[in-house]
Amino acid sequence: MLESAALVDDGQYRLLVRSIGDADAAVIGALRRLRAGSDTELAELLYRAPSELLRGLDRDTGTKLLKVLRETGIDVDLVPPSETYEPGSAAYEVALVIKRPDRLFDVIRETVRVLGVDVDTARKLVCANPAVLIGRVSQATVDALRRRYQAHGVELDVSRSIDADFDLAVDASDFPTRKRLERLLADEQIPIAVGEAGQFLATGLKAAAAERIWKKLRDADVKVQVLNRDFQRFDVRMESAPGADDPSRRALLDWMVATIGMPAASGERALAHLPFILVENVSGGEMVTLLHQIHEHGGGASAILLPLQKFALALKPGGDRVAARNRIETITRSAPPPGFELGGPTTLEGPFTKTQARWLQHELRRVGVGSVLVER
């Protein structure tokens, strides 16, 4: 539905925010000098654009304000009374898909700018899996964020939350929490997942039910994850392959080279040491396609849901342990174990998400410390 732009007096203008553009969240403070409202209300103007910032302006005043606002990075226009616009909605939620551990410092800096949070909060957010950035934003904000994060090698997963399905996961070994949640689900008349659900206690919840459950759980000390399926990412693990004398082995290898981009020699070595992770951090749709294609080429594979994975990091001997200590403390906010500086094999227990573990691996490799991920 289009909103009329008609004003009281012909010839008056208004400022329309098209999107947050390249602005920092800190710009909200500057907007308070132009328009009354709480920080929350002003943030909504930015993140749910297109929206009207000011109306009733003469051309000269409007032009001056337009120049100032554009210098902050906001995508804003001065429009005449006759122009209409379609206001943005709060329909979308966004998660970061991080595949470049070498760019994580840049990603954290960008997240500080976008959200106006401190560095430690941004670090925790980008290392989470899924790395949910922000919700209740418009398509214009999604487009602006996609452009901004693409510059740092980051993709976006986008969910229209009201239409999304959610899964409820709980630590299988946490029996008291599991029983508590089963009672809660019974009260909500939500069926308990059965069969091969594994850690999932309930699957396919709609947004309203997932939100009700989350509100009841968020103040409780329980290890529960409510996972939006639009944000679920997977590793694909090759479990089996045709034997060396089987002609279909060559077809599988050719497919790995053409589809995954794996060099033929590397593919040969990998198939000789099953199982192995074939591809990391793919969407649910990509995962289903890959599993089907692997099966078609005579192989067998499984999918590993990343939000349910935790890792330790086994460090190899050697390297610059002083520099390594600094990197470990920066990334994990904790010190390495006693004896680390002696240079022998060491294990960083974590638990780490896959993103955090890969980031640690990258930074430690830069100072000569090799490592291996260990599933926990």
Q: What is the pLDDT of residue 102?
A: 96
Q: What is the pLDDT of residue 11?
A: 58
Regions of the chain short of the pLDDT cut 70: 1-11, 172, 194-198, 218-222
237 and 205 housed in the same domain: no
- At residue 239, what are phi and psi to the nearest 5 degrees? -105, -35
299 and 317 housed in the same domain: no
Q: What is the pLDDT of residue 122?
A: 97
Burial tier of 333 (Cβ tally within 10 Å: 0-12, 13-18, 19+): exposed
pLDDT digits (tens, 9 = 90+) for 152-200: 999 999 999 899 999 988 876 777 778 888 888 888 888 887 654 467 7
Domain edge (last residue) among 213, 229, 245: 229
- Flag whether 87 is in a domain: no
**Count of domains observed in the chain:** 5
What one-character-per-residue DSSP string does 77-142 give? EEE-TT--B----S-EEEEEEE--GGGHHHHHHHHHHHH---HHHHHHHHHSSSEEEEEEE-HHHH
Q: What is the pLDDT of residue 239?
A: 96
Q: Tokens standing for 91?
A: 């329909």
Task: Count the neighbouring beta carbons within 10 Å of the beta carbon of residue 186.
Answer: 11
Q: What is the pLDDT of residue 198?
A: 60
325 and 363 housed in the same domain: yes
Structural domain range at position 300: 233-305
What one-character-per-residue DSSP string does 5-58 give? ---SSTT-EEEEEEE-TT--TTHHHHHTTTS---HHHHHHHHHT-SEEEEEEE-
Task: Count the neighbouring beta carbons within 10 Å of the beta carbon of residue 215.
Answer: 9
Q: What is the pTM of this model?
A: 0.89
Q: What is the pLDDT of residue 193?
A: 76
CA-CA-CA-CA torsion sign (358, 136, 138, 28): negative
Domain edge (last residue) among 138, 162, 186: 162
- Flag whether 1 is in a domain: no
